[in-house]
Amino acid sequence: MRRICRKPFLFCFVVLLLTVLVPQQAYCSNEPWYEDLDYHWARFYILVLHRERVTDGWIYYRTSNPVTYYRPDWECTRSQLAVLLCKVFGLPEARPVSPSYPDVPKGYAFLQSKPGWAWIEGALSGGIAFVPAGSPFLPDAPISRQDAVELLIRALDLYEYAHCLSDKEVSSLLGLFRDSHKVAADRRHSMACAIKLGIIDGYEDDTIRPEAPMMRAEAATVVYRSCLIRVDADISTFSPDGDGIDETVNFTLIHLKNRNVTQWQMVIQDLSGKVVYSFNTYGADGAPPKTVSWDGNNGLGSPVPAGQYSYQAWVRDSQGNQFFSIKKPLTLIRHSLSASRSPSQVRDGDRLSITANTTPAPVTVTAQFADGDLREMQPNQDNTRWSIGKIIGPSLPSGFQTVLVRAVFPGAIREKSLSFTKVKELWINPSVNPNPAVGGQSVNLECGTSSGVSHVTASLFGQEHVLVWDSSSATWRGATKVPLMTPEGDYPVLFTGIDGSDVVRQTVLLNVGTSAAATVRYVLTK
């Protein structure tokens, strides 16, 4: 009887043991808290991510009650980190027709029965997977610390920023650790960037262990640190100068919702590090808002100068940890155009000079005159001073004139109107030929005039003669005869030119002498 009873008892014990220890094929998107983290050093960081519903663990069953474990000190696999990053940063799953990696089929499960193929495809399409399509992804292999950092830097969209770090700065940052020579050549910039931003740190023995596997607790910690605060501007250059274009810059503050942030602040700094504007000046309690905006003024409402600035935010969590976002550049432009002309009065044939000063360098600067003449102004070497000259001709009417200087900037246009006066050219240049003349002789009356003259007369010996325009010689012409018995002497010939309501007059003296015939007659008579 005893022998008979022992077998069922042993059988039940084995079944129970297997039930407790063997993972079950189940997936829960909202897992209960992990029972193996109560006293773990990474408990807080994993808790925050758990509240975001982005963590995954193992579910076991003790009889009918599920027990969930995070396994913080297990090695983190390449697929586990890829899935975590996709969930944290909101990268959607992707389902191409054919799998991109030969070792990640459509039915691949990255943890128990939790589907992982679509997440890994999402990591590839989202640009965070550094393994090219067609190559083995090695999803179940432990991920090294340097490869984990590479994935994280790509997920944070910091790859370009990391590779802009100088070789000197990279060497200085990695030099903090005595095993930095083990960092792979193609991982040095990403590792240095993560060190600079406080995303990853070393061990107590001054090593960073780039080739060592990253533990799941470490993976959760670096993800937490990187997600505490991130700030992005909607534009990198804005111009608060009243034209209605890019008047303000809007900042989006991205952060985990359930991270127990107790304080925050964001500042705008100039190149010297001086704070020109502060959001939440005194670091008030609470989490930052989703967005903030800046209009280019300081805290007193006065415009700050155009130039290069930077923006950065910090937060402090309930554990007292303070984290900073990446300091990013911001360009403030105030478009300006000033212009002048010289001289203020011109006549036909004079040169009118126009100069313009611009900030910053525009695309083009033009000058348009009242006669429709549009000209491009020529720049100096730095494209901030522009000039042009125009010879004033008859096509430009006399009187008050304007010239419109127009500067076209990227995203902005500025105009400046200049005025000058074209002096009315009213002149006549008369002549009498021949001169001297004698009584009874015919004389020609000629007169050159300015372009606006429409009527010319010549008065001589009490008679007014209307001159006729000769287009072939551009001269007004007429003729008359000196009276036969005109005594010797100088006789005025008054020329009059009329231009609209304006009149110009000029007198020419005609010298009348004695003819030879008259002298002979005078002698015979005597």
pLDDT, residue 316, reads: 83
d(CA 265, CA 521): 119
pLDDT, residue 412, reads: 80
pLDDT, residue 515, reads: 62
Which H, E and C letters describe 33-88, residue by residue?
CCCCCCCCCCHHHHHHHHHCCCCCCEEEEECCEEEEECCCCCECEHHHHHHHHHHH
**Exposure pattern of 371-402 as b/e (b: 16+ CB <10 Å)?**
eeeeeebebeeeeeebebebebeeebebeebe
d(CA 284, CA 264): 7
Q: Is the pLDDT of residue 520 over 50?
A: no
Over residues 433-445, the pLDDT tens digits come to: 999 999 899 999 9
Q: Same CATH fold, 336-422 and 230-332?
A: yes
DSSP codes, 313-363: EEEEETTS-EEEPPPEEEEE---EEEEEEE-SEE-TTPEEEEEEEEES--S
> What is the residue extent of each domain of the chain?
230-332, 336-422, 428-518
Q: Is the pLDDT of residue 414 over 80?
A: yes
The residue that leads in pLDDT, 379 or 397, is 379
Task: Note the residue count of the chain.
Answer: 526
Q: Which secondary-structure segment (H or E) carries 475?
A: strand 475-481
Over residues 92-129, the pLDDT tens digits come to: 999 999 999 999 999 999 988 889 999 999 999 988 88
Of the candidates 378, 359, 358, the one whose C-alpha atom is nearest the C-alpha of residue 367 is 378
Confidence of residue 314 (pLDDT cuts 50, 70, 90): confident
CATH of domain 428-518: 2.60.40.10
pLDDT, residue 524, reads: 37
d(CA 439, CA 437): 7
Tell me if 88 sits within 8 A of 294, measured CB to CB.
no
Over residues 5-43, the pLDDT tens digits come to: 333 333 333 333 333 333 333 334 467 888 899 889 998
Opening angle at CA 359, ends 358 and 364, nearest 5? 50
Please tell us whether the domain made up of 336-422 is placed in CATH 3.10.20.740. Answer: no
Q: What mean pLDDT, rounded, does the chain reach?
A: 85
Residue type, 53: R
Q: What is the pTM of this model?
A: 0.55
Rounded mean pLDDT, 346-355: 89
Please tell us whether the domain made up of 230-332 is placed in CATH 2.60.40.4070. Answer: yes
